[in-house]
Structure 1
Amino acid sequence: MAMLPNLPLFGGDPKDWPMFIQAFKSMVHDVFTSDAQRLAMLHSRLENRLRIGMSQVLTTPMAYRDALQELHRKYGHPHLVVRSYIRSLMELPSLRESEEVDEFAAKLHGAVTTLEAAGYGHELNSSVALAEIVHKLPPSMITRWGRKMHKLLPKVPTLRDLDIWIEEELMSTRNVRDMTRQLRLNPIPAPKPRLGMFQPTVNFIDQKPTEKDADQHPGNNKCGLCKLEPGHRLALCPKFISMEPTQRAQAVYDLKNCFRCLGRNHNSNECRKTDATCGVANCGQHHHTLLHGADRVARK
């Protein structure tokens, strides 16, 4: 009896039926031996409108098993469960560019996981449902998903692929946020001068450092992006980290930096880090991790 408060009320939504009936079986059906007790418990865990609709069946203990069959017929058929999950995804509101995707992703992941666990994984292959759900994403994500679909060819993408891809996108965003937060809490101090390190003298006051000196000694220059002094590597620039991936790619392009290592005075084809690849899971492209998910850019 102490377990009953943990047994949810069933309100008639087919997508809630698998969880409800499993919980009812383990907490009631397998615990009590009397159909009269089982029927009383079942009656107490149905919402009022369902009790009214089932009133003719819930009148006698002998009807316990008939009541279970009636509930299963109305709410537990696999087709009804799948349709309820797909409908719940279709009813999700479309997201604008500035809105968070976390809640959307959680509902999609919950639907995909539950359908697979219940043995309805084949229902995730609906191309119509996939197209409807994709068009609820922000425009920039729809563009990136289009590139992901191209990489999946000749495989036909499914809701399962969309679920995995959105999780990767969110993980990449969280990683960037964590890096930004760490930089704000623990700013990187300016490097201390070392013996032999380039330092301006009186003779250099009116001279502008060469590009070679600037690349080797970033601490003596302004950051090309945020203009802070002393300079720092682009990958550590707070302004750069706070940008969206496409904005970062545009900044790298405009600064004429390398898309692979973000370094200066060379392009990607000349980069010495030939084995450098994106750190985002399953990407492996030859671009810096901070540029993952960026659109193709051009000079403004």
Structure 2
Amino acid sequence: MLPIAPVVGPELPKVELSYFDGQPRGYWKFIRQFETYVASRVTDDSQRLLYLMHYCKGKAKTAIEGCVMMEASSGYKRAREILKRLFGQSHVIARETLEDLFNAVNFDCTDGEQLSNLAIKMENCAMVLEQMNYTSDLNSLVTLERIVRLLPQVMQAQWANRVDELTEDNREPTFDELTQFIASRARVANSRFGRLANRPRKGHNLKTNCHLQLEQESNSRAKCRVCSQDHAIYKCPKFLALTVQERWSQAKVNGICFVCLRQEHKANECKLAKRCNVNGCEKKQHSLLHSENDKPDIPNCCGFTKSLSSQVCLGMIPVRLMLGNAEMVGYALLDNGSDVTLIKSSCLRYLGLKEDERQW
């Protein structure tokens, strides 16, 4: 251990430096600590080299082991040059620091702790890159977009509104502003009223309170259980090449729902009101599981029926729409023949969403 200067008052705990294992993202932190606590307090280069060898391990230590055979001053200087050349290149450190940030998992908009951790990692990343004058990489649109993709869609929409305000003021969004935005969302989620707003409601799952689309995207990213690739089983070439009987066998073996061909639930738990509809088949199953033996019951007679009523009944169900703290109750019209989902513009405005008007 290094000798430390005497201090006034109670003795302070001994400072132990972090070891450097050759990971570029830890180079600047290690060098700053080494220069502050070792190099500045030792005048002999031979001792500096000895301590440098001691606090390096793995490939970092292997890279400078030969320097102990050199003259003390030259050996220490050479060791520092080797470490910087192999592990201290600014562009490599910047890339690895950002990639470590990009590899964070997607976040639940109700989890304040996850959002706080992301904000802290972003602040640390900014400090490292600012020390190397790499702020241009921080503020690039590619960097900002990759971080925003980690956020739930509700927060992505809120950030889009924030960027629109900046654009109106002739300003561009920056890494620091995105960090402050995520930190503020984390504070709200961790606050008393934030926890109250995100509490589980009767008949609702906490994770689905944010947005139903989040769960749907998570399901779509599940790996196919037939070929282990990143696609849904009904898009799997191997599954489509099977006979109907073999598809049934695969669905049973892998615990896949017979109605929607997803693997998160069983057929008796499926909430999708879907019928086969292949050649008039009314069975509650996916069309890829239809067999020619599944024939609809068609009476061998011909006739007509005169309607005695002029009323038409439509399938309607009550629904609850939630976005952030906005909530409304309405009715949804079920149309099995429709291939689009439509919503009234007044509902969008109430929930704070932008309209995307189309011509049909």
TM-score tier, shorter chain, comes to 0.5 to 0.7
Structure with greater helix percent: 1
Aligned to 1:120: 134
Q: Render the CA deviation track for 1:54-93: whole Å, top value 9, x for unaligned.
A: 2223433231101101111122222222122111112222
1:9 deviates by: 0.5
1:295 deviates by: 4.7
Q: Which amino acid aligns with 2:182?
A: I
Aligned to 2:184: 168
Following the alignment from structure 1 to structure 2, what is the Cα–Cα distance between the partners of residues 150 and 295?
A: 18
Following the alignment from structure 1 to structure 2, what is the Cα–Cα distance between the partners of residues 94 and 179?
A: 20
CA contact (8 A) 1:130 1:159 kept: yes
Aligned to 1:249: 326
Structure with greater Cα Rg: 2
Query: Cα–Cα, structure 1 residues 45 and 177, in superposed 2: closer, same or farther, change >3 Å?
Result: farther
Aligned to 1:40: 50
Aligned to 1:143: 157
Aligned to 1:9: 19
CA contact (8 A) 1:14 1:80 kept: yes
* Correspondence 1:18 to 2:40: no
* Correspondence 1:107 to 2:121: yes
Aligned to 2:143: 129
Q: Render the CA deviation track for 1:230-288: whole Å, top value 9, x for unaligned.
A: xxxxxxxxxxxxx879353226x99xxxxxxxxxxxxxxxxxxxxxxxxxxxxxxxxxx
Query: Cα–Cα, structure 1 residues 75 and 49, in superposed 2: closer, same or farther, change >3 Å?
Result: closer
CA contact (8 A) 1:112 1:163 kept: no
Normalization by structure 1: what TM-score? 0.58
CA contact (8 A) 1:13 1:84 kept: no
Following the alignment from structure 2 to structure 1, what is the Cα–Cα distance between the partners of residues 173 and 32?
A: 32
Q: How does 1:14-93 map to 2 (within 5 A)?
A: 14-60=24-70, 61=72, 62-93=74-105
Aligned to 1:240: none
Q: What SS does structure 2 have at the residue aligned with 1:55? A: helix
Aligned to 1:221: none
- How many residue pairs get aligned? The number is 199
Q: What SS does structure 1 have at the residue aligned with 2:56? A: coil
CA contact (8 A) 2:107 2:150 kept: yes
Unaligned runs of 5+ residues in structure 1 are 182-225, 227-242, 255-293
Query: Cα–Cα, structure 1 residues 247 and 163, in superposed 2: closer, same or farther, change >3 Å?
Result: closer
Following the alignment from structure 2 to structure 1, what is the Cα–Cα distance between the partners of residues 324 and 143?
A: 31
Aligned to 1:207: none
Query: Cα–Cα, structure 1 residues 247 and 74, in superposed 2: closer, same or farther, change >3 Å?
Result: closer
Normalization by structure 2: what TM-score? 0.49
Q: What SS does structure 1 have at the residue aligned with 2:130? A: helix
Q: Render the CA deviation track for 1:8-34: whole Å, top value 9, x for unaligned.
A: 101222222122111111111111111
CA contact (8 A) 2:49 2:76 kept: yes
Following the alignment from structure 1 to structure 2, what is the Cα–Cα distance between the partners of residues 141 and 35?
A: 53
Q: What SS does structure 2 have at the residue aligned with 1:11? A: coil
Following the alignment from structure 1 to structure 2, what is the Cα–Cα distance between the partners of residues 297 and 124?
A: 29
Query: Cα–Cα, structure 1 residues 127 and 58, in superposed 2: closer, same or farther, change >3 Å?
Result: farther
Query: Cα–Cα, structure 1 residues 23 and 247, in superposed 2: closer, same or farther, change >3 Å?
Result: closer
Query: Cα–Cα, structure 1 residues 160 and 295, in superposed 2: closer, same or farther, change >3 Å?
Result: farther
Query: Cα–Cα, structure 1 residues 77 and 127, in superposed 2: closer, same or farther, change >3 Å?
Result: same
Query: Cα–Cα, structure 1 residues 168 and 44, in superposed 2: closer, same or farther, change >3 Å?
Result: same
Structure with greater strand percent: 2
Following the alignment from structure 1 to structure 2, what is the Cα–Cα distance between the partners of residues 295 and 157?
A: 25
Q: Render the CA deviation track for 1:125-176: whole Å, top value 9, x for unaligned.
A: 2111211121111221112111111111032222222111111211222334
Q: Which amino acid aligns with 1:168?
A: S
Q: What SS does structure 2 have at the residue aligned with 1:101? A: helix
CA contact (8 A) 1:249 1:297 kept: no
Following the alignment from structure 2 to structure 1, what is the Cα–Cα distance between the partners of residues 59 and 153?
A: 42
Unaligned runs of 5+ residues in structure 2 are 5-13, 203-208, 211-321, 331-349, 355-360
Identical aligned pairs, as a percentage? 22
1:101 deviates by: 2.0
